[in-house]
Every structure is written in C-alpha cells, then in structure tokens.
Amino acid sequence: MLIAEIGGNHEGNFGYAKKLVMLAIKSGVDIVKLQLYTGSTLVSKVESKVRFKHFKKFELSKQEHIYLAKMCKSHKVKYLASVWNLEMLNWIDRYLDYYKIGSGDLTAYPIIKEFAKRGKPIILSTGLSNISEIKKNIKFIQSQNSKYKNRNNLAILQCTSTYPTNDDEINLNCIKTLRDHTKMTVGYSDHSLGDLALKAAYIKGAEVMEFHFTDTRKNKKFRDHKISLTSKETVLLIKDILRLKKLMGSNLKLPTKNEKKSGHIISFRRGVYLNKTLKSGNIVKKEDLVFLRPNHGVDARDYKKIIGKKIIKKTKAFEKLFLKNV
C-alpha cells in the first residue's frame, strides 16, 4: 500500500492543493493523504508563536478539505488524513478508510482514544519513540477496542522525524524489530531524499509505505518539498516496486519453470564419464573416471555406484555412461 502524503505542501493554497491531489491520483498511488488542523487547536500560540503562525497560514477550510476528499473518491483512490483536530473528525470521518496517527501524537492518548473508539484501521508512525513506548501505545489502543488485536486493523510504521533524515538514522532494520515485537502489519514512513529508502523498505518487508509528494522541488522554500517525490518520480517508484515484487518471487527453493524448460539441469550439471575406453570385463577404478557436463547417464553424485563394477558393454572414453552397462 503506497501513500502519497501531500501534507502541508499546498501551503494553504486551495488551487495548488487541488493540483497536487490530481497529480498524486494520476501517479497511481493507492492513497492520497493530507493533514487537517487549525493552528489554535494544535500549537500553543504563547509557547510556540512561530509554529502557530505556520499552521495558521497552511489551514484549509472544511469545504476545501471535503472537496479534496471527494476528488479522491471520484477517481477510485482512497483518501487519508492526519486529523489533528477532533472536531474536524466528525465531518471528515465519512471519507476516511483509515486513521493516521502521526509520530507527534503517539503519546497523545486522549486523542488516540477517540480514534480507537470509532474502530477504523489505524496507521501509526513511530518517529521520536522507543520500542517500549510503541508497545505501550499498541496495548492502549487494543484496550480501547479489541478490533486492533487483528494485525489487519493496525499498521506500525518505522519513521524518523527529521527533515531530511540522514541515511544513518533511517534504520530500516527496525521494520523487522517492529514486526517481531508487535506482530502487527509493519511499514515505513519516509523523510529521506530520493526513493532508495522506500525501495529498500519494500525489500525489508514494509507492507505500507508513506512518502511526501509535490509537483516540483525547484524554487520551493517550505521544508517538506525537499523530501518529496514528484509525479514522474512516483510513477517510476511504482514501476520499480512492481519489479522488485517479481524479483523477490517465491520462498520455495525449487528449479523454476524456465530452468526446467531450458534443459540446464542436464547441460549445466556434471555426469560420470570414463577418461579412457574400457572393454567388456574391465573393472572400473576411481582413476578411470572424470566428471563432465552434460549430466547424461550417471549423475556425478552416484559415482561410487560404478567403482569396482565390471563393464558389461564396451564403453568409449567421454561417451555417455549408463549404469546398465556396468
């Protein structure tokens, strides 16, 4: 499941938001994601004046958010939002297939409780947190609603909350850690440059992947554009992920259909040959044997079966050797 996070990249411009949503839809992602908030219900205007002004500037109206949600639905693409204002949840809920809890709200139990009561699948990012906090959070969510004991209803995303994230702090190995400790669906929320971390996360077993999305990174001042993929890059990412899915293939180690069809099981493997002509009645010695391709006649693994045996029918050096001839 691939989530294109527009987040605040619209910078409070509804026309630009519509453009980004349509680009994300056309890129082929499974889900388009935004963020719903008001500055006054998210940040203290006394203790964090700069952040308060930032979020006030980036606000969209109720009508605008609903329009964007309907855009997604009309194009058969799922709509998702980090809803940071519970009053907004009441009117946007009908458009949501999932709830997204961002890293900053992992410890906001009063907020999480309201989502859990409603029971839709939750996607939880884990930036800033340790494994103990994550496990306590999961236990809390499950205590509010037993539906979240089902792994299909709760996804835990490895995430690092820095923008951009340094390569040595992405920690994709934590995807396995989260799977082992939680037994839930696991994934990855990306804040890195480029798409390499997303591809590697898929190989690591991420079932849900979230990345920031924009139209262009050129001449952009807002931080999140720098860590975003464009529509063209997203199309290429999806193409590469689909190829990676094929490349990873099956867990069963067996000769493939084309290996069998090619005849390489015979032509690449070695069989037992005589390195000199032996006549009827000659005894086969180890020093008479050589192991060559193709694997006609006697398999190299069965060479001991003919040592010490008598040749029944004259066999020339380097020609196919059969057990029935000894």
Q: Quote helix, strand, coil % in the chain, to nearest 5.
A: 45, 15, 35
* Residue 167: count of CB within 10 angstroms of its CB: 10
Query: What pLDDT band is residue 173 in, cutting at 50, 70 and 90?
Result: very high
Residue 37 neighbours by CB under 8 Å, 6+ apart: 55, 59, 82, 83, 84, 85, 88
Per-residue tokens: 319: 């020609």
Residue 271, both tokens: 């069989």
> What do you get for the CA distance between the two ends of the chain, in Å?
61
| pLDDT for 125 beyond 80 | yes
Per-residue pLDDT tens digits for 280-298:
999 999 999 999 999 989 9
* Cβ atoms 141, 118 nearer than 8 A: no
Which pLDDT band holds residue 43 (cuts at 50, 70, 90)?
Answer: confident
Decide if pLDDT at 41 tops 80.
no
Is the pLDDT score of 88 beyond 90? yes
Tell me: pLDDT of 128 over 90. yes
Using alpha carbons, select from 23, 57, 43, 19 the residue that is nearest to residue 232: 23
Helix H or strand E encompassing 15: helix 14-27
What is the C-alpha to C-alpha distance for residues 134 and 127, in angstroms, rounded to an integer? 10
Residues whose CB falls within 8 Å of the CB of residue 69, separated by 6 or more in sequence, listed in order = 79, 81, 92, 95
* pLDDT for the residue numbered 115: 97
User: What was the pLDDT predicted at 40?
Assistant: 79
How sure is the predictor about 198, in pLDDT bands with cuts at 50, 70 and 90? very high
Counting residues of the chain whose pLDDT is more than 90, the rounded percentage is 91
d(CA 288, CA 9): 76
Give the percent of the chain with pLDDT over 70.
Answer: 100
The reported pLDDT for the residue numbered 273 is 97
> Which tokens in the block code for residue 251?
């867990």
Q: Are 85 and 43 in contact (CB under 8 A)?
A: no
Three-class DSSP category at 14: helix
Nearest-CA neighbor of 5 among 234, 236, 244, 237? Answer: 234
**DSSP per-residue string spanning 213-269:** E-S--TT--SHHHHTEEPHHHHHHHHHHHHHHHHHH--SS----HHHHHHTHHHHTS
Q: What is the pLDDT of residues 236-249, one digit of tens each?
A: 999 999 999 999 99
Residue 11's pLDDT is 93
Q: Average per-residue pLDDT in the chain?
A: 96
Mean pLDDT of 192-215: 98
121: left (phi over 0), alpha (psi -120 to 50) or beta: beta
Judged by DSSP in three states, 296 sits in coil
Residue whose entry in the numeric block shows the structure tokens 């699948």: 121
269 residue type, one letter: R
Mean pLDDT of 224-252: 97
* Block residue for tokens 């293939």: 249
Confidence of residue 44 (pLDDT cuts 50, 70, 90): confident
Label residue 49 by pLDDT band (50, 70, 90): confident
* Predicted pLDDT of residue 163: 95
Once rounded to an integer, what is the mean pLDDT over residues 52-79?
93
Which pairing describes strands 154-159 and 185-189: parallel, antiparallel, or unpaired? parallel
Task: Give the chain's domains with CATH numbers.
Answer: 2-248 (3.20.20.70), 257-325 (3.90.1210.10)
Task: Look at residue 172 in the predicted model and tell me its pLDDT.
Answer: 98
Question: Rounded to whole angstroms, how far apart are CA atoms 303 and 123?
Answer: 59
Tell which residue, 32, 189, 197, has the closest CA to residue 106. 189
2-24 pLDDT, tens digit each: 999 999 999 999 999 999 999 99
Q: What is the pLDDT of residue 278?
A: 97
326/238 Cα distance (integer angstroms): 59
The CB density around residue 131, as the number of other CB atoms within 10 Å, is 14
